[in-house]
């Protein structure tokens, strides 16, 4: 399975079969995570955590004791950087046949943060269980997926725009960007809100955040910017697999928009 197939095949897995990962598989995943960089150059420290050993739990996860978590220093763009790097790990796990679920909320966070030895000035944005997917989903998982319409995504024309926010981009007009934009569309996001909006203009794809209420915490942490980091990751991986050469830019093109979307970053595509 290549990365594009992993993007297409991935779904959140909350029910696992209990078989666990061999020490070699665990080592391979951790080593991969530790090698990851992100366009913002912000380092992330990774740990594999055993639920029994550290008293960790998530009410939505059954059938595995193993979690992966990352922590980093708080800094501008930490959210996007974390989203980008963690998704690389999620997709790598998928290529090895392991299930994951991004978890920011449904966990005993204090216990996870203790297990990560989080210090002042650091943040542990999300964790994920790791294991082999069970043959059948738990009832709770089935209900959760229905609740957030996890199997569907917003229409292409609602997410992507042609040169300005006034003109929706159709799949037919997307040309060589079609596969990479479809990869963005498939990305996971908190509560499946899909906050990314993209304008394709003059050889660049500009990523914006459409904020929903309630995702920015009192200390300024914006969970939906993690989603944007995931979208940036999907775009780059898919574009590279199509033979394009994306390069990262942080330069707001100051495009007018009526919805007060926030500029996040751009990929220049050759
Ligand atoms: C940043 C982020 C945080 C998330 N937090 C949770 C969570 O706390 N609990 C949970 O069950 N799922 C969580 N999810 C998973 C989303 O609900 C899921 O990705 C979305 O519904 C789409 O479904 P899919 O991943 O199966 O495509 C989170 C996803 C992201 C990207």
Query: What confidence tens digit (pLDDT) does each residue in 100-154 have?
Result: 999 999 999 999 999 999 999 999 999 999 999 999 999 999 999 999 999 999 9
Output the residue whose Cα is nearest ligand 1's atom 20: 192
Query: What confidence tens digit (pLDDT) does each residue in 208-229 have?
Result: 999 999 999 999 999 999 999 9
Residue 32 reports pLDDT greater than 90: yes
Show the domains of the chain with their CATH numbers.
Answer: 3-139 (3.40.109.10), 156-269 (3.40.109.30)
Query: What strand order describes the sheet that includes 196-201?
Result: 160-162, 196-201, 204-209, 262-269, 246-249
Which residues, listed in sequence order, are joined to residue 269 by a DSSP beta bridge? 246
Residue 243 Cα, ligand 1 centroid: separation in angstroms? 30
Per-position b or e across 205-221, b if 16+ CB within 10 A of its CB: bbbbbbbeeebeeeeeb
Query: What confidence tens digit (pLDDT) does each residue in 45-99 have?
Result: 999 999 999 999 999 999 999 999 999 999 999 999 999 999 999 999 999 999 9
Which residues, listed in sequence order, are joined to residue 45 by a DSSP beta bridge? 71
Q: Closest Cα to residue 261, out of 213, 215, 211? A: 211
- Show the ligand 1 pocket: residues with CB < 6 angstroms: 11-12, 60, 101-106, 126, 144, 148, 150, 188-192, 223, 226-227, 230
The tokens describing 147, both together, are: 């609740």
Which residue has 């304008």 as its token pair? 199
Mean pLDDT, residues 26-40: 98
CA pair distance 134, 162, nearest whole angstrom: 42
The tokens describing 4, both together, are: 């594009």
CA 136 distance to own-chain centroid: 24
Percent of the chain with pLDDT over 90: 98
Record the pTM.
0.98
> Which atom of ligand 1 approaches the CA of 106 most closely?
8
Residues 6+ apart with CB under 8 A from 166: none
Residue 78 Cα, ligand 1 centroid: separation in angstroms? 19
Mean pLDDT, residues 165-186: 97
Helix (H, G, I), strand (E, B) or coil at 3: helix
Query: What confidence tens digit (pLDDT) does each residue in 67-82 have?
Result: 999 999 999 999 999 9
Q: What is the pLDDT of residue 258?
A: 83
Q: What is the pLDDT of residue 260?
A: 87
CB 250 within 8 A of CB 231: no
Q: What is the pLDDT of residue 259?
A: 87
Q: What is the pLDDT of residue 71?
A: 98
Helix 78-95 with 223-241: angle, nearest 10 deg:
50
**Ligand 1 pocket test, candidate residues 138, 187, 192, most atoms within 8 A of CB:** 192
CA pair distance 199, 169, nearest whole angstrom: 8
Residue 178 reports pLDDT greater than 90: yes
Dihedral angle sign, alpha carbons of residues 20, 23, 24, 26: positive
Q: How many residues does the chain have?
A: 270
CA pair distance 193, 216, nearest whole angstrom: 14
Mean pLDDT, residues 167-177: 97
The tokens describing 256, both together, are: 């007018």
Mean pLDDT, residues 239-263: 95
Provide the pLDDT confidence category of residue 40 given band limits of 50, 70 and 90: very high
Dihedral angle sign, alpha carbons of residues 231, 50, 106, 60: positive
Residue 93 Cα, ligand 1 centroid: separation in angstroms? 16
**Ligand 1 pocket test, candidate residues 87, 102, 149, most atoms within 8 A of CB:** 102
> Which atom of ligand 1 approaches the CA of 60 most closely?
11
Residue 26 Cα, ligand 1 centroid: separation in angstroms? 22
């Amino acid at each position: 399975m290549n990365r594009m197939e992993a993007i297409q095949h991935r779904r959140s897995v909350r029910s696992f079969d209990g078989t666990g990962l061999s020490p070699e598989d665990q080592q391979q995943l951790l080593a991969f995570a530790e090698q990851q960089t992100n366009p913002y150059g912000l380092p992330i420290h990774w740990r594999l955590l055993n639920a029994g050993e550290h008293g960790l739990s998530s009410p939505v996860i059954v059938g595995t004791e193993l979690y992966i978590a990352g922590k980093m220093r708080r800094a501008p763009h930490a959210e996007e950087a974390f989203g980008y790097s963690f998704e690389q790990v999620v997709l790598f796990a998928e290529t090895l046949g392991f299930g994951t679920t991004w978890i920011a909320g449904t966990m005993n966070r204090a216990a996870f943060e203790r297990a990560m030895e989080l210090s002042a000035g650091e943040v542990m944005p999300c964790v994920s269980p790791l294991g082999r997917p069970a043959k059948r989903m738990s009832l709770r998982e089935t209900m959760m997926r229905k609740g957030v319409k996890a199997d569907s995504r917003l229409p292409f024309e609602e997410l992507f725009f042609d040169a300005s926010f006034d003109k929706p981009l159709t799949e037919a007009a997307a040309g060589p960007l079609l596969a990479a934009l479809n990869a963005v569309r498939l990305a996971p996001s908190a509560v499946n809100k899909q906050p990314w909006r993209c304008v394709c203009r003059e050889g660049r794809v500009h990523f914006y955040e459409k904020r929903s209420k309630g995702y920015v915490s009192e200390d300024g942490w914006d969970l939906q910017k993690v989603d944007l980091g995931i979208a940036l990751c999907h775009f780059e991986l898919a574009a590279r697999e199509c033979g394009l050469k994306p390069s990262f830019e942080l330069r707001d093109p100051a495009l007018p928009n009526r919805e007060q979307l926030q500029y996040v970053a751009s990929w220049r595509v050759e």
